[in-house]
Every structure is written in C-alpha cells, then in structure tokens.
Amino acid sequence: MFEKTIIISALALLSYLVGAIPSGYLLAKIKGVDIRAVGSGNIGATNVYRCVGKSWGILTFVLDFLKGCLPAALFPLLIESLTNEPCGPSWALLFGCLAVAGHNWPVYLCFRGGKGMATGAGALLGFAPLVMLVGVGSWIILFLATRYVSVASILAAIIIAVAAWPIHAGNSLIPAALTLMSLLIIWRHRSNIKRLLAGTEYRFKFTRKTQSNTGT
C-alpha cells in the first residue's frame, strides 16, 4: 500500500509538470517570438497560430492535447503494471486534472499559462472519451458558425458539463469534476467575454494570417 501511494504521488507530480510544459511559448521562441508579448499574450495554440504561423499553431495544439491525454490514459496503466492492482477511473481523472492545472498555472512561467482547452480535451480522451467527442463536435460546429474561438470554447465547456451528467450517471465524481473544469475554462476566458461584449474580440479568418491584439 505504501509503495502504491509513493507511485501515485510521483505520477501526480509528474502529471502537473508535464502539463506545465509551455509548448506554445517554447515553439514561438524557436521562431524568435515571445508569444506572451504579441497578440493576446496567451501561450495557447490560437495565439501561436495567429502570431507565429499556421503549422506552429497546429503543432502547439497537438502538444498541448498530448500533455493532457498521456497522463490520463497512460499513468493509470503504469500504476497497474507496477503494483499488479486494478486502477479505477478516479486516478485517470486526477492525473488529467493535474495536467490541466499545470497548463493553466505552469511553474516554468511563474504560474502564468494558457486556458486549458486543448489540454483539457486530451485529458477527456483519457478518462471520458464519449464526453470528449461531444465537446469536440460541439466546438467545431460552434466555431464554424461563429468563427470565434472563444465563443466555441466557452459554449463547448458548458455543453461538456451538461453532457457529462447523463453519460457518467453511475460515477458522479467525473461529471462533478468536469463541471468544475468547465467553470474554470469559462473563468479563464473572462477577458474574451469582455472583448465580445465590447465588440473587439478577434474573429478567425481562414484566408490569411492575421495578427491582432485581442483573442484567445
């Protein structure tokens, strides 16, 4: 039991540290850009896409997604392998949430991070794949309809919180955690909400690369 506790504690810390890796910041640095000083100042994929380049933004999204997916999907399997004991979905939930916390408050950047959408989606794939599909499908539809990344992210977070309750009716811990995570994502988008109300929020353009001082 003591050995299992040590393993879980180590993997919990590792989940946070993996999630805290500032993918967007590091990729932008390769191009000589301090992503925190351009566009919206956010280290997430949208700002990298807009201010550094399309391929760099896509790569940022993929890496941020993996930061959430790998701890949630693989770390419980590692526990089972090392302890020969079954590992319930609660541990996948814990590791995924810690990865999201790392992305939002990375120790490497003085706890100033992103907003958690890509990392959260990756974590969902690890412990709630059906909810993730609902959320991603909703996000795509909302984004294509509005061309606002922030609107799609906020509304998809709400849909995830609502959908999680009937999908995981047998385990209230997962929908409760996803409701809190969705509230966190909405709170992290509070500056976007202000810009939406003011009519100054960045609206995505598919035709050309655009730099802006507002956005996600």
User: What confidence tier does 207 reach under pLDDT thresholds 50, 70, 90?
Assistant: low
Going 101 to 213 to 61 to 144, the CA torsion angle's sign is positive
**Residue 207 domain-assigned?**
no
What's the rounded mean pLDDT across residues 113-138? 95
pLDDT at 211: 45
Say whether pLDDT at 212 is over 70: no
> Is residue 75 in a domain?
yes
Q: Is residue 204 part of a domain?
A: no
Higher pLDDT, 211 or 47: 47
Residue range(s) defining the domain that contains residue 43: 2-198
What digits encode the pLDDT tens for the residues 31-49? 999 999 999 899 999 999 9
Phi, psi of 117 (to 5 degrees): -70, -50
Structural domain contains residue 215: no
- pLDDT category of residue 214 using cuts at 50, 70 and 90: very low
Give the residue, 109 or 89, on which the prediction is more confident. Answer: 109
pLDDT over 60 at 213, yes or no: no
- How many domains, the chain? 1
Q: Mean of the pLDDT values across residues 128-145?
A: 96
Residue 29 lies in a domain: yes
Q: What's this model's pTM, rounded to 2 decimal places?
A: 0.89
pLDDT-based confidence at 129, cuts 50/70/90?
Answer: very high
Q: How confident is the model at residue 198 (pLDDT cuts 50, 70, 90)?
A: very high
Q: Which long-range contacts (CB under 8 A, 24 or more apart) does 146-151 make?
A: 147/203, 147/204, 147/205, 148/196, 148/201, 148/202, 148/203, 148/204, 149/46, 149/202, 149/204, 149/215, 149/216, 150/189, 150/192, 150/193, 150/195, 150/196, 150/201, 150/215, 150/216, 151/196
pLDDT of residue 57: 96
- What number is the average pLDDT over the span 166-188? 94
Residue 212 lies in a domain: no
210 in a structural domain: no
Q: Is 60 exceeded by the pLDDT of residue 93?
A: yes
